[in-house]
Amino acid sequence: MKLFRYGPPGDERPAMLDADGVGRDLSAVVGDLTPHTLGPDALARLGRLDPARLPPVEPGQRLGPCVGQIGNVIAIGLNYADHAAEAGLPIPKQPIVFSKHTATVCGPHDDVWLPPGAQKLDWEVELAVVIGQPAWHVPEARALQVVAGYCLANDVSERAHQLEMDGQWIKGKSYPTHCPLGPWLVTADEIPDPQAVELWLDVNGTPRQRGSTRTMIFGVATIVAYLSRFMRLLPGDVILTGTPPGVGMGQRPPVYLRAGDVMTLGSPQLGEQRQRVVAAPLPA
């Protein structure tokens, strides 16, 4: 299934795509797509629905993030060998783990904010993993069983704040709008091999990133099992699994985002996103 959420920010409604690509409203079936509706039983009930009996979603609706009430956004850094090389950093021996504030999450086509004073705003197309069942010390052989589905993510990053200041990466990763998710939550049964997902990203129509999850250093099952050793993963947690080469800081010379730039990104399996960079609004 391809599930999504639509409507104004904070008031999104759940929906699914039918076989013809038409959105069908799920509001009469579930209140929202949240941690409470991501377990295998709940997803199985949705899978048994006849989409033709559900009301269509009116065209032109804003798409929200494909999961609501996210508890944690956990990310893996330098998880593609060629991306580590372009960053001038050694290949990690264990997954590099950091987090993004949950207020970064936004819809797949929402504007992305250029923070005040930002000089090195960068893009990162990624496969995101959405957890559907609690996971604590889950063996790698069973790790994919706790995954509800997958979606596209843009791990927008302010590199100066991430890499040129003391402390943790989270400072350069946590501005509002810096984690567009969606358009779809693609349930795990539609992606039996998460190590065969193609990813791409363009800026202003110029190709920047082209990659595949098959070149990850640590695969999805390894990441889920590894994280579950240090934290209890919960339904609704989102894991960003790293980005292929082609980010702005890896260009020669580096290229960073400015107000008015447009990012388009996608995957044949996960759908497409489009974001315009705008100056961040400031409090009155």
Query: Has residue 37 been placed in a domain?
Result: no
How many domains are there within the chain? 1
Coil vs helix vs strand at 143:
helix
Query: Has residue 147 been placed in a domain?
Result: yes
Residue range of the domain that includes 268: 67-279
Whether 124 has a pLDDT exceeding 90, the answer reads yes
Query: Has residue 21 been placed in a domain?
Result: no
Exposed e or buried b for every residue in 266-283, given b needs 16+ CB within 10 A? bbebbbbbebebeebeee
Query: Has residue 34 been placed in a domain?
Result: no
pLDDT at 284: 74
As a whole number of angstroms, the distance between CA 181 and CA 183 comes to 6
The tens digit of pLDDT for each residue in 189-240 reads: 999 999 999 999 999 999 999 999 999 999 999 999 999 999 999 999 999 9
Query: Has residue 28 been placed in a domain?
Result: no
pLDDT at 166: 78
* Predicted TM-score (pTM) of this structure: 0.96
Query: Has residue 61 been placed in a domain?
Result: no
Query: Has residue 15 been placed in a domain?
Result: no
Q: Give the CATH number for residue 203.
A: 3.90.850.10
Whether 167 has a pLDDT exceeding 80, the answer reads no
Given the structure tokens 């959405």, which residue do they identify? 130
112 Cβ partners below 8 Å, 6+ apart?
106, 154, 156, 177, 178, 180, 257, 263, 275, 276, 277, 278
Q: What is the DSSP string of 52-93?
A: GGSPBPPTTPPB--SS-S---EEEEES-BHHHHHHTT-PPPS
Query: Has residue 131 been placed in a domain?
Result: yes
